[in-house]
Amino acid sequence: MTFDENFFFYFVLPPIIFAAGYNMKRKEFFKNFKNIVIFGVGSTILQFIVFTFFTWIVVQMDILWKFSIETGVYEPFTLSIMEIMLMCSLLVCTDAVAAVSIVKYEEQPKLFSLIFGEGITNDAVCIILFNTVYEYAGPHSEFTSTTPIKVLYGFFKLAFFSIFIGLIFGVLSAYVLKKFRFLTVNPVIEVNMVFVFGYLSYCVTELFHFSGIIALLVSGVVMAKYSWYNLSPQAKQVTSIAFSVIAYAVEAFVFGYLGITFFSYIQLDWSW
């Protein structure tokens, strides 16, 4: 079994991201939004710069070696500055699941919202960083004096349009559910309508080569804030539970799927 990126990114990942946005503890999140931005955005960018700088210094020292399966000997291992930036954009991505699991929202709501919010924004910033650097990290790319400006411009451009598309579809879903009341007579239809609008934001954003994950997360937050009030009483209870159950099942599938497909890379150099 090999890893299918289209299957993973278009069928497996969206339910997890949408549930995280739709079931977010929004009150505490926006109450501590300033601190979350400082830790999730500012510290992530700072770590990216520091990691890139020190990794570049280590590479310049020529102390890195790799084992070649073809020759059976160790060879010097080098990375270009763009490859270093691409790698560091992944290294600064943290996993807040373990920290969130030991903090109870009922006992420490502020700490929980800070950890969860930092994890969400950190993931968002890392995704945007990776996509931005990847755009300029081709096989013939060169690091020039204008590269940091291009990366910074691409970062803000990707962030703005991804968030904007997510807001558009979130507001559109609230409008449709409010004006077309015949769509709110069946909880099953309502649940599907809510998710379809979120999934559309993901697909449209990816179609324009922006970050569909960010758009899906934003649309989920917006729909939980505005579309939720236009649902029937039954659907208000069903949506959050249904999305949580689906996301939990898909997360369990992801661990198994990634574990099995990992062995398809055993023939690569770094897998010895």
How many C-beta atoms surround the C-beta of residue 245 within 10 A? 12
pLDDT tens sequence for the chain (272 residues):
777 888 888 898 899 889 988 988 888 888 888 888 888 888 999 999 999 999 999 988 888 887 776 777 888 888 888 888 888 988 888 877 667 777 777 778 888 888 888 888 888 888 888 888 887 776 666 777 787 888 888 888 988 999 999 999 999 999 999 988 888 888 888 999 999 999 999 999 999 988 898 899 999 999 998 999 899 888 888 888 999 999 999 988 988 888 888 776 666 655 55
Which pLDDT belongs to residue 255? 86
The residues with which 66 forms a beta bridge, in sequence order, are 75
Compute the Cα dihedral for 123, 127, 132, 138 and give only its sign.
positive
DSSP secondary structure string, 245-260? HHHHHHHHHHHHHHHH
Q: How far is Cα 95 from Cα 116, in angstroms, rounded to an integer?
A: 10
Which pLDDT belongs to residue 174? 93
Locate 166 and state its tokens: 């997510």
Which pLDDT belongs to residue 271? 52
Which pLDDT belongs to residue 26? 80
pTM for this entry: 0.82
Residue type, 116: F
Compute the Cα dihedral for 106, 115, 101, 247 and give only its sign.
positive
